[in-house]
Amino acid sequence: MKQLKLSDGEKLILLMLSEIHEHLQIKNGVDTKLVQSAIYSGNLWGLKWQLTGVFHDHEAAPEVIEEVVNVLDMWSFIESSYSRFSSDDKRMIEQEAKPFGQYVQFTGFDGNGEAEYISVARFLVDDLERFSSFKGRELNSHLPSLDAHRRMLGVFNRLRPTLTSGLLTATQVVELLKEKLHPERRSTATAAH
């Protein structure tokens, strides 16, 4: 854990703000007594322990943010297109993209192994109110999904310039969903049919 460092000016500003906070009797705010005590006693580390949501040592990498945006964008196209398909198209997708053609919906990222990705996705959807079609979803796939999303993105990026209507065809959705299956498992899945 990095040590919290504050300049003398920052300490003075924090003390003055905490006094204003107390004078205005603001409820449900930062514990001003803790802030004052940490500054006066030289135990700034206590603020990091107590205020973990404010003081943390990580920030999402730009490449992670870009990849999450691209995944959400791709799934927006998939879901929007799928919702407009006929029953016949949906049956064809279910058959051709087994086992992923039956449930055509973005399930998120793994909350354990892909925590940074799920955090960015939640922030985009819930706080920045982007990709509103995913609002209210858990976004935790509970299993590794990043590699599958990356394989799908490879295909989607090739298809994207051809999407003149803004929608995918049923055949394109099948092509994308088939990428969810790991390449090593495709030959055994094909042989089983």
Domains of the chain: 8-50 (no CATH), 62-192 (1.10.3190.10)
Contact of 193 with 115, CB cutoff 8 Å: no
Rounded to whole angstroms, the Cα distance separating 77 from 59 reads 28
State the 10-residue block means of pLDDT for the chain, 193 residues long: 82 92 84 90 85 74 95 97 97 95 94 92 94 94 96 96 89 96 69 51
The continuous run of DSSP H or E covering 158 comes out as helix 146-159
Residue in the block written with tokens 């109110």: 129
Residue 103, classified by CB atoms within 10 Å of its CB into exposed (0-12), middle (13-18) or buried (19+), is exposed
Tokens at 30, concatenated: 């930062």
- At 163 the pLDDT is 87
Alpha carbon distance 52, 62 (integer Å):
22
- Cα separations in angstroms, 17 against 32, 35, 65, 182: 9, 10, 33, 55
Q: For the whole model, what pTM was predicted?
A: 0.74
Cα 51 to Cα 18, 32, 126, 145, 180: the distances in Å are 15, 12, 22, 31, 39
Cα–Cα distance, 44 to 101 (Å, whole number) = 53
- DSSP E strands in 47-135: the ranges are none
Furthest-apart CA pair in the chain: how many Å?
A: 74
Residue-level length of the chain: 193
Contacts of residue 156, Cβ cutoff 8 Å, sequence gap at least 6 = 74, 77, 176
Q: Which residues contact 192 (CB under 8 A, 6 or more apart)?
A: none
The reported pLDDT for the residue numbered 13 is 93
